Amino acid sequence: LAKTTQPISMDSYEGQEVNITCSHNNIATNDYITWYQQFPSQGPRFIIQGYKTKVTNEVASLFIPADRKSSTLSLPRVSLSDTAVYYCLVGGFSGNTPLVFGKGTRLSVIA
């Protein structure tokens, strides 16, 4: 299972763009990269998923370089409600393979 490394914490002001980078040097060919958001006392919530290049949805963008050994979650114009822990996970293809969580990045958005 690929191990991931993320910054422990980040601070940002409201309205700014936030980029959180995750390292996953041992990512396997079949692995997808998935980002989750977790608020206190709630289960993680899916944000975005990608395999390579760039993926964008209504809440975030995910940038993945050609070697796929890292990925960057980009949150445009964050608000106070984006204060949460963000987890980067790698895995996929097999339904029997659990996703292992790293320590995550605690994002604090300040007014």
Question: Residue 100, interface with another protein (CB under 8 A)?
Answer: yes
Contacts of 8 (CB under 8 A, 6+ apart): 103, 105, 106
Residue whose CB is less far from another protein, 6 or 70: 6
Q: Which of residues 27-66 bind another protein (CB under 8 A)?
A: 31-32, 34, 36, 41-46, 49
Are β-strands 9-13 and 105-110 bridged in parallel, bridged antiparallel, or unpaired? parallel
Per CB under 8 A, 102 contacts another protein:
yes
Site string for another protein, 66-95 (x = CB under 8 A): ---------------------x-x-xxx-x
Asked if residue 24 binds another protein (CB under 8 A), the reply is no
Nearest approach in angstroms of CB 67 to another protein is: 20
Q: Which residues contact 100 (CB under 8 A, 6 or more apart)?
A: 1, 3, 89, 91
With CA atoms as reference, report the closest residue to 20 among 28, 30, 10, 33: 10
